């Protein structure tokens, strides 16, 4: 290595250090229809926390975000809403995994959270009051188009308003509110370009619950990326989420039917017309080790009217099971742990300071058993010997208690294939972190 090259590498290294160890691989070009997926706390993410939380605090924070997320998902299945476009409430998410998208001409790079239970895309726009990250500047794009009030998509948003001739709308969320306009521009994902993609351009947010990232909706409804991309992706994609603890590792999001795994176990995708964005499946039983635990079938029954059933979701961290299902799983884990002292941490009620004596937990779907190793159901402290069963009971007491959610912790290091034309969801082990 020449002195100049050495100095140059040192300069890059110190620059990287100044940037908080932002590895150069974060910016490596993406090929074809495959995007890198990284965790929001990874060194590639500008959204990673500035201060290092303790393990306990990290877990508690993820759990409390999950609570808001689960209430949000449940509000979507409650059946009260007949709004065909989920975008209005789509701001409530737990941005865990992000991908890079290029918007406009010339391209502006934005990071967006992937969300398999939402259809809409949201992008913080330049001039946005209350947005906290990189924004999209529509004035600098030659392909930007605001949507007129008469546009079909405009009639689908709740609380629509007409600002001049431009379609706008307001969305309340908890203590927050979001004001956005509906716009179109070209979006490039890896090397694919989608012309005239419709998304919400966020102009104003109040309150603190609005996520800094844009949101890329991968749901199955009419306005999702898959639907808008039409024949390009044919409503088919797969992803592998890296472990939330692995530093610098990226997973992948593969869009379209090409290069999808051929050998993969699959189960039938179910469709709920009243909640068109969700990927429902038929969970039938759960095995702890070799024992199928005793759970009444009603805990898993799919009911389009109440929204009950089981969905795969990338935006919730810890799998949430309806009360009788969770209790049965937990009791069997505790039984296997014998006399070891059980403790709790936040919403986790089955924690131990000795190793877990349960090698696997199996989700038994119709036609597909998915056997998870401990890394997918035990969350371990890096600083102590404590580890917890990383699942929880669904929030109780109202319409919120009917949905089982297979969440991202349980999906890590697995490839999840969504194949809408063939109505199937596939799962295969794949170490991507």
Which residues participate in catalysis according to the annotation? Answer: 115, 313
Name residue 34's beta-bridge partners: 254
Binding mask 42-71 for ligand NAG (x = CB under 6 A): ------------------------------
- Largest CA-CA distance found in the chain, in angstroms, rounded: 70
Among 150, 196, 230, 355, binds ligand NAG (CB under 6 A): 196
Residue 284 interacts with ligand NAG (CB under 6 A): yes or no: no
Give the pair of three-digit tokens for residue 8: 């140059």
Find the binder of ligand NAG among 41, 96, 186, 266 (CB under 6 A). Answer: 186
- Which residues neighbour 29 within 8 Å (Cβ) at sequence distance 6 or greater? none
283-288 β-sheet, strand order: 291-292, 283-288, 360-365, 368-373
Distance (Å, whole) CA 204 – CA 172: 12
Buried b / exposed e over 382-404, threshold 16 CB at 10 Å, is: eeeebbbbbbbbbbeeebbbbbb
CA dihedral 158, 164, 166, 168 (to 10 degrees): -30
Phi first, then psi: give them for residue 413, nearest 5 degrees: 60, 30
- Relative to beta strand 108-115, strand 214-217 is parallel
Which of 16, 193, 327, 381 touches ligand NAG (CB under 6 A)? 193
> Residue 318 CB, nearest distance to ligand NAG (Å)?
24
Min separation Cβ 355 and ligand NAG, Å: 14
208: left (phi over 0), alpha (psi -120 to 50) or beta: alpha
Stretch that binds ligand NAG, among 327-335, 367-375, 403-411, 421-429 (CB under 6 A): 367-375
Nearer to ligand NAG, 78 or 292 (CB): 292
Stretch that binds ligand NAG, among 118-126, 164-172, 193-201, 389-397 (CB under 6 A): 193-201
End-to-end CA distance of the chain: 31
Residue with tokens 């150069």: 24
Task: Please report whether residue 195 would count as binding ligand NAG according to CB under 6 A.
Answer: yes
Q: Which stretch binds ligand NAG (CB under 6 A): 164-172, 240-248, 366-374, 381-389?
A: 366-374
Quote the least distance from Cβ 26 to ligand NAG, whole Å.
24
What residues from 143 to 162 belong to the interface with ligand NAG (CB under 6 A)?
A: 143
Contacts of 214 (CB under 8 A, 6+ apart): 101, 110, 111, 112, 113, 121, 122, 123, 124, 136
305 binds ligand NAG (CB under 6 A): no
Least Å from the CB of residue 196 to ligand NAG: 5
Q: Least separation, in Å, of the C-beta of 197 and ligand NAG?
A: 9
Query: Is-contact 148 154, C-beta < 8 A?
Result: yes
CB of residue 390 vs ligand NAG: minimum separation in angstroms?
Answer: 22
339 binds ligand NAG (CB under 6 A): yes
Single out the segment in contact with ligand NAG by CB under 6 A; choices: 71-79, 247-255, 364-372, 387-395. Answer: 364-372
Q: Which residues pair with 343 in a beta bridge?
A: 351
Q: Considering the rule CB under 6 A, would residue 263 count as an interface residue with ligand NAG? A: no
- Using CB under 6 A, list all residues that contact ligand NAG: 105, 143, 186, 193, 195-196, 287, 292, 338-339, 364, 367-369
């Amino acid at each position: 290595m020449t002195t100049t090259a050495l100095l140059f590498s040192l300069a890059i290294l110190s620059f990287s250090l100044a940037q908080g160890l932002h590895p150069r691989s974060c910016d490596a070009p993406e090929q074809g229809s495959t995007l890198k997926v990284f965790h929001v706390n990874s060194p590639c993410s500008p959204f990673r926390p500035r201060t290092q939380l303790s393990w306990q605090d990290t877990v508690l924070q993820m759990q409390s975000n999950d609570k808001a997320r689960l209430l949000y998902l449940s509000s979507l299945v409650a059946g009260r809403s007949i709004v065909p476009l989920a975008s209005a409430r789509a701001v409530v998410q737990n941005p865990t995994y992000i991908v890079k998208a290029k918007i406009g001409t010339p391209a502006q790079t934005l990071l967006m959270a992937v969300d398999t239970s939402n259809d809409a895309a949201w992008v913080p726009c330049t001039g946005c009051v209350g947005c906290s990250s990189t924004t999209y500047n529509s004035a600098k794009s030659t392909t930007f188009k605001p949507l007129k009030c008469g546009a079909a998509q405009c009639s689908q948003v709740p609380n629509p308003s007409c600002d001049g001739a431009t379609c706008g709308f307001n969305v309340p969320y908890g203590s927050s509110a979001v004001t956005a306009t509906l716009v179109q521009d070209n979006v490039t994902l890896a090397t694919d370009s989608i012309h005239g993609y419709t998304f919400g351009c966020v102009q104003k947010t109040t309150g603190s619950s609005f996520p800094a990232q844009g949101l890329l909706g991968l749901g199955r409804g009419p306005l999702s990326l898959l639907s808008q991309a039409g024949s390009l992706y044919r409503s088919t994609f797969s992803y592998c989420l890296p472990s939330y603890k692995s530093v610098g590792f990226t997973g992948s999001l593969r869009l379209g039917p090409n290069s999808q795994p051929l050998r993969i176990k699959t189960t039938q995708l179910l469709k709920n017309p009243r909640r068109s964005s969700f990927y429902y499946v038929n969970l039938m039983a759960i095995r702890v080790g070799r024992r199928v635990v005793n759970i009444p079938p009603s805990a898993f029954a799919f009911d389009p009217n109440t929204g009950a059933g089981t969905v795969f979701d990338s935006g919730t961290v810890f799998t949430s099971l309806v009360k009788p299902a969770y209790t049965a799983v937990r009791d069997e884990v505790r039984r296997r742990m014998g006399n070891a002292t059980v403790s709790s941490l936040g919403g986790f009620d089955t924690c131990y300071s000795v190793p877990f004596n349960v090698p696997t937990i199996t989700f038994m779907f119709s036609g597909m058993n998915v056997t998870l190793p401990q890394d997918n159901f035990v969350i371990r402290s890096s600083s102590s010997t404590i580890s917890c069963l990383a699942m929880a009971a669904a929030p109780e007491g109202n319409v919120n208690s009917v949905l089982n959610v297979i969440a991202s912790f349980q999906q890590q290091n697995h490839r999840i294939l969504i194949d809408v034309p063939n109505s199937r969801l596939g799962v295969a082990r794949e170490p991507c972190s």
